[in-house]
Amino acid sequence: MVYDKKMFSKRIYADYASTTPASKEVIYAMHGASKLGNPSAIYEEGVEAMTVLETARALCARAVESRLEEIYFTSGGTESNNLAIAGVIEARRAEGVSYEKIHIVTTPIEHSSVLECVREYEKRGVRVSFADVNKEGIVSVDSIKKNINADTVLVSVMYANNEIGTVQPIHEIGEMIREMKKEKGSYPFFHTDACQAPLFLSLHRENLRADIMSLDGHKIYGPRGVGILFVKSGVKITPILFGGGQEKGLRSTTENISGIAGMAAALSAAAAGRERYSLRMKLLRELFILEVEKRFPEALLNGSREKRLPNNANFSFPWITDAEFAVLYLDAKGIACSTKSSCLKGEERSYIVSALEPGNKWRSKSTLRFTFGVKNTRRDIIKIVETLEKMKETLLKSSALAKNE
C-alpha cells in the first residue's frame, strides 16, 4: 500500500486502533466511484454505480470467503453491531416472543456499541448475561456455555479487543455454539465484532464459525463512514432502518458508493498484505513492550502477552493519576496515543481494564494505549519511551512539590 509522505510528518502517530489513514489505493478507488450515479436508477449512470457496488460486494465476499448475498454494507462498525443485535432480537419478537423471553450472552469487555445496545434492550426486558473474563482479558468458553439457556437467541463476542488487543477464542466459541444448535435448533446465533481484526487475523467465516460478523472501513486504511455486516444465509434478522429497501431490504438508504468502493479496496489489500504487515507490527510491538518493561518495571501490561494483536501495547503506569493529562502531555511532545477507546467520552477509567482486575483501584485510571501502523519505525518506539521517561520525571516532581506545599 502507498501513503502520502506528508502524512503525520514531524509527529508520531500511535493510535491506529482508533483510526487509520486511507491508503492511496483506497482514495483512488473512492475518487472514481464518487462520479457515479444512484445505483437504484435504471439509466446508464445508475447501472454503472450498481456494477461498482456489486463488484465491491464480490471483493468483500472473497475476503471473508462468503457468498455475495451474505454481505451487507453499513455506515460502520457501530451500525453493524447494532443491526446484528437489534436485528436478531426484533426477528425473534416478530415470531411472537416477548422481550422477557429473549436472552443474550456477551462479555464485559465488548465495544461500547455492543454494550450500550444490549443495555438498551435490558431496559425493555431482554435478559443479558456476561461471560467471565480472566486477568489476561481472555473470555471463558466454559462460562459462555454455562450462560446459554433455552431462551438465548444471540452470543456476541469481539474477535480482537480494541483497547487491550486480546484475541478471543472465536473458533472454539463458534464450534461450541454449533454443537449446541444440533440439540437446540436454529438458536443461538453467534455474532463477532471483528472490526480490529482484518489487518492481522483470518476472516474465513467457516473457520470462525460466526453467523454474523461486523467490519469497519476506517480500522483497515479504508474510508470512514462505511462498514460491513456479514450475515450467514439462514440467519433470521430484521432491519432497523426503513425506506427504499436497499441492501436486499435489510439496510435502507442510498448506498455510499465511493465509501463502499474504498472499503472493498481496503479489505482486499488487508487480506493480501496480512502476513507481512503482521510480522512488521509484531517486531515494533515487542520492541516497545521490552523497552517499557526495562525502563518502567512498575508498569503493568494490560491483556495477554501472547494472544494479542501484533500492533497493540496497552500499559498502566502507577505514576499516572490523570491519563487524559498524560495523553495531552504526549500530544504536546508530538506523540499521538490514547488512554482508552476513542468512542468513550467522559469516562474516568477504562471499563475493559477494570474487568481484568476489579480490585485494583489505580490500574484502570492509569492506562495508555499505543497501537502502531504503517508509518511507525523503530526510531519512533525509542522516542516514545524516552518521552515517557521525561513525563514520569515531570509528574513525580510535580507530585513531590504538591506534597511539600
- DSSP secondary structure letters along 195-248: TT-TTTS---HHHHT-SEEEEEGGGTTS-TT-EEEEE-TT-----S--SS-TGG
DSSP strand pairing (227-231 vs 212-216) = antiparallel
- pLDDT score for 341: 60
- DSSP at 104: E
Please confirm, yes or no, whether 195 is among the known catalytic residues. no
Scan for cell 510480522, then name that residue.
279
In angstroms, the Cα distances linking 156 to 13, 103, 142, 153, 184 are: 31, 12, 15, 10, 18
Which of 198, 203, 162, 376 shows the shortest CA–CA distance to 280?
Answer: 376
- pLDDT score for 400: 66
Q: Which residues of the chain have pLDDT under 70?
A: 1-9, 341-347, 400-405
CATH topology of domain 24-269: Aspartate Aminotransferase; domain 2 (3.40.640)
Q: Do the domains 24-269 and 12-19+274-404 match in fold?
A: no
Catalytic residue among 117, 195, 337, 343: 343
Q: How far apart are CA 81 and CA 355, in angstroms?
A: 21
CATH 3.90.1150.10 fits 12-19+274-404, yes or no: yes
CB contact set of 390 (below 8 Å; sequence gap of 6+) = 333
- pLDDT score for 206: 82
Domain ranges in the chain are 12-19+274-404, 24-269
Whether 205 contacts 66, CB under 8 Å: yes
Does pTM top 0.95 for this prediction? no
Scan for cell 468502493, then name that residue.
261
Chain-centre distance for alpha carbon 141: 20
Paired strand residues for 103: 127, 152
- pLDDT score for 401: 57
Question: Is residue 163 classed as helix, strand or coil in its secondary structure?
Answer: coil
- pLDDT score for 8: 47
Q: How far apart are CA 185 and CA 297, in angstroms?
A: 52
- pLDDT score for 297: 97
- pLDDT score for 404: 54
Q: How far apart are CA 284 and CA 272, in angstroms?
A: 21
Convert the pLDDT of each residue in 221-274 to its tens digit. 999 999 999 999 999 999 999 999 999 999 999 999 999 999 999 999 999 999
